[in-house]
Amino acid sequence: MKMVSKSIQITFLKILIGLILGAWCCVWILKPTQLWKKSWHKAEDWADSTFTGESGINVLVFCFPLLAVAVLGYIYLHLYAKEGRIRKKAYFIGKFSNPIIPRSPMGIISGCELMASALFIMFLAWTYYSNVASDFKKLTPSKSIPLNRRQLKVMSLGVRFGSLSEACLALLLIPVLRGMALFNICGIQFEASIRYHIWIGNAIMFFSVLHGTIIMCVWGSKHSLWMEITRWQRTGRVYLAGAITLGILVIIWITSLPQLRRKNFQFFYLTHHFYALFLIFFLLHAGAGHFYLVFSGVLLFALDKILRVIQSRRTTCLISARILPCEAVELTLPKDPCMQYNPTSTLFVKIPSISNFQWHPFSITSSSNMEDDRLSLLIKCQGSWTNSLYHKLKSIGDSTSDDVKNFAVAVEGPYGPMNFPYHRYDSLILIAGGSGITPFLSILQDVASRNGRMNNYCKKVQLIYAVRKTQDLSMLTPISSVLLKEPADLGRVQLRLFVTKGKEGSRTSVEELLLEVSQLKTINLGEGSSSDRVPRPESSLSKATITGLASIVFLVALVCLTHVFVHQSKRNSLNKTPSWISDLLIICSFIIATSCSTTMVTILYMWKKTTKPSDKNSRSFSMNSERIQDVPKHEISYGQRPNLTEMLLEHIREAGESKVGVFVCGPDSMHESVASFCTKYYQKSGRKSKCLYEFHSINFSL
């Protein structure tokens, strides 16, 4: 009965979230029309006579819908996690999640992404057309400089590009939410949503440059560029603030280019924090009325930042570390026994002895179903930070002294999907290259931890792993002991290893390689006391409460401050109030709301810290001694790359009528190759094929 009621609650929440999102989208669609503008002026006149005032109605209409979706979304995630059902997606949903465009400058694009992008582009085109058409009907001469009709039209074209930047800015911060990720409702992980942030950021840059360039060209044609761009108006748009906003945006965008970001990540990381100045000057330039359109994303991002800072301000200590022959390290950290995470989850790590500012994400290789009090990370040397970590641990391992204690590590997370989808498939194909093996280790650990409780799911798991050198196969170290013991639930796991630069004379069996890497030396650094454990993140209900509290406090503070500092008799009197006062009231209300949220999060954190974790029975990972008769034989090939197309076709012939999950993590060429196969396979077979493939691209390069 409880399960039925919970299912009804989940369905109701999904419908309610859809309705609120639909209403919010309708507001954005109607906003550039004359009907909306006339109705909105009447609504503002009516709101002036109420307690909330003009600012209150702006918050209620433009900010609260998305904040309400966030609150309901966190409640939905809480109920979904409590229900704990394994759900199978409908056929058409699975098909839309498969790649449609396997190769493009923006990467692999699925059907859902293509459809969402097309709708958003249509919305931008509609917004621009409606605004420009409305402006052309009533061209108002500029008070500061005389412009002819042609120049007024060009000026209008430039101004309305700013409206498109504004629409993109409303969504810019949503994909980069970590602890308070809204995309989890759709099953999209944080690492995957980063690409949407990049797309939207490029669009903002494009529209903002057009916006500023066109307006400055018109001013330049009248020889008044310097006068206009340095003028700070008492009311209305502040052009100097707009120029500063554009300059900050250009700096952030240039340092975000892949070529510069990969060479100097710390410089990229530091300049990206200019977003605070960007938002402040955007508020001063656009004004309070336009800032309400983007405020909900700003508030959610600030709350997410507060949660992350409070969790990561306390350091933990390594329990142990292992140095792998492939210049990688496996770290083991103590964790709260109540912390649960799904396969492919990531943990952000900072090591103060290397850098006090750099945070780097790494996939968790262990399973919370197998170990209650610890988690593991596998880190490959691929930059200055990881090289420093490797050499630091290597020097500790080579040292004969026992004085090394308390290797401090600060962590943030873990972040991962609310329900990883591998359970719903009849078989899995895991394709990895190099360090891309790390998220798949957690999947294999999770399969092993279920110990025969998989029922009819995942009858077969095939891991295709390509590396350059033989020693790179030591990346399988975290799973080697599990694979060697061959429990009943891992009996259908088949390894197909490829060493692209190996020699024929170095041939050896997979079992010998696994046995060799399982005997690597472990550096013990401590036991990990209860005070040093990685704390579990805030629950979804806590996030819903924090978001709701911050939203209400912001509205109340803004209304009260407006009544105190701004006269509310008539709108005409409001126009005499300097614009910076309204802007300052928004900033003060934002500070009050985030301060209340910080206090609440700190109290929750201290209460959670003083509460003793419940004594959970340690999960026993019992091995079934009965050997399976049809265990697939592991294979290893030297001097060649995997022919992924042939291997996938071979799997289709063997799979028969089944649902297959294809997960890829590795170089871009590997992702594109598998995506191209899945795209061609659907184009040729369609619904006629009895074997249904679903493609999943896992990418952890942020």
- Paired with 499 in beta bridges are 467, 638
What are the phi and psi torsion angles at 594 (to 5°)?
-70, -30
Amino acid 618: pLDDT? 42
* Residue scoring higher pLDDT (122 or 651): 122
Amino acid 91: pLDDT? 38
The span from the CA of 46 to the CA of 40, in Å, is 10
Most confident of 84-98, 119-133, 260-274, 508-522: 119-133
252-260 long-range contacts (CB < 8 A, ≥24 apart) are 252/278, 253/201, 253/202, 253/205, 256/198, 256/201
Amino acid 454: pLDDT? 45
Mean pLDDT of 326-355: 86
Amino acid 628: pLDDT? 39
What are the phi and psi torsion angles at 368 (to 5°)?
-70, -15
Class of residue 272 by CB neighbours under 10 A (exposed 0-12, middle 13-18, buried 19+): middle
Torsion sign, CA atoms 407, 527, 360, 607:
negative
Looking at the predicted structure, is the pLDDT value of residue 697 above 80?
no
Give the domain ranges of the chain. 1-88+102-236+287-310+538-566+581-608, 316-534+643-697
- Whether 659 and 400 have beta carbons less than 8 Å apart is answered as no
Q: How confident is the model at residue 436 (pLDDT cuts 50, 70, 90)?
A: confident
Mean pLDDT of 630-639: 70
Beta carbons within 8 Å of 633's beta carbon, 6+ residues apart? 494
* Residue scoring higher pLDDT (213 or 514): 213
Looking at the predicted structure, is the pLDDT value of residue 126 above 90?
yes
Amino acid 190: pLDDT? 76
Beta carbons within 8 Å of 240's beta carbon, 6+ residues apart? 229, 230, 231, 232
* E strands in 19-116: 99-101, 109-110
SS3 374: strand
* Residue scoring higher pLDDT (423 or 436): 436
Looking at the predicted structure, is the pLDDT value of residue 88 above 60?
no
Q: How confident is the model at residue 299 (pLDDT cuts 50, 70, 90)?
A: very high
Q: How confident is the model at residue 656 (pLDDT cuts 50, 70, 90)?
A: low
Percent of the chain exceeding pLDDT 70 equals 82
CB neighbours of residue 470 within 10 Å: 20
Beta carbons within 8 Å of 573's beta carbon, 6+ residues apart? 567
Q: How confident is the model at residue 498 (pLDDT cuts 50, 70, 90)?
A: confident
- Whether 292 and 583 have beta carbons less than 8 Å apart is answered as no
Q: What is the pLDDT of residues 190-199, one digit of tens each?
A: 777 888 999 9
Amino acid 213: pLDDT? 93
Q: What percent of the chain is helix, strand and coil (3-state, nearest 5)?
A: 60, 15, 30
> Of the given ranges (56-70, 351-365, 562-576), which has the lowest mean pLDDT?
562-576
Q: What is the pLDDT of residues 532-544, one digit of tens each?
A: 677 777 888 889 9
Amino acid 189: pLDDT? 74
Amino acid 128: pLDDT? 94
For the chain, give the mean pLDDT.
80
Beta carbons within 8 Å of 17's beta carbon, 6+ residues apart? 69, 72, 73, 76, 185
Residue type present at position 605: Y
Mean pLDDT of 373-397: 86
- Whether 461 and 493 have beta carbons less than 8 Å apart is answered as yes
Tokens read off for 19? 């309705």
Q: What sections of 399-509 are H helices per DSSP?
A: 438-449, 477-485
Mean pLDDT of 565-572: 56
The span from the CA of 648 to the CA of 269, in Å, is 40
Looking at the predicted structure, is the pLDDT value of residue 4 above 50?
yes
Q: What is the pLDDT of residues 24-55, one digit of tens each?
A: 999 999 999 988 888 888 888 888 777 778 88
* Residue scoring higher pLDDT (605 or 615): 605
Q: Encode 312-341: b = buried (16+ Cβ within 10 Å), e = exposed.
A: beeebbbbbbbbbbbbbbbbbbbbbbebeb
The span from the CA of 14 to the CA of 25, in Å, is 16
Q: What is the pLDDT of residues 249-280, one digit of tens each?
A: 999 999 999 888 878 878 888 899 999 999 99
Amino acid 572: pLDDT? 47
316-534+643-697: which CATH number, 3.40.640.10, 3.30.2420.10, 3.40.50.80, 3.40.50.300? 3.40.50.80
Looking at the predicted structure, is the pLDDT value of residue 563 above 80?
yes
The span from the CA of 555 to the CA of 78, in Å, is 26
Amino acid 390: pLDDT? 87
Amino acid 209: pLDDT? 95
- Whether 552 and 64 have beta carbons less than 8 Å apart is answered as no
Amino acid 533: pLDDT? 76
- Whether 270 and 310 have beta carbons less than 8 Å apart is answered as no
- Paired with 612 in beta bridges are none
Q: What is the pLDDT of residues 202-242, one digit of tens each?
A: 999 999 999 999 999 988 888 888 888 887 777 777 889 99
Beta carbons within 8 Å of 11's beta carbon, 6+ residues apart? none
Q: Encode 664-675: b = buried (16+ Cβ within 10 Å), e = exposed.
A: bbbeeebbbbbb
Q: How confident is the model at residue 667 (pLDDT cuts 50, 70, 90)?
A: confident
Tokens read off for 70? 């966030």
Give the total residue count for the chain. 702
Mean pLDDT of 636-648: 83
Q: How confident is the model at residue 111 (pLDDT cuts 50, 70, 90)?
A: confident
pTM for this prediction: 0.87
Amino acid 619: pLDDT? 45
- Beginning with the edge strand found earlier in the chain, give each strand of the sheet holding 320-324 in spatial order: 374-380, 328-334, 320-324, 522-524
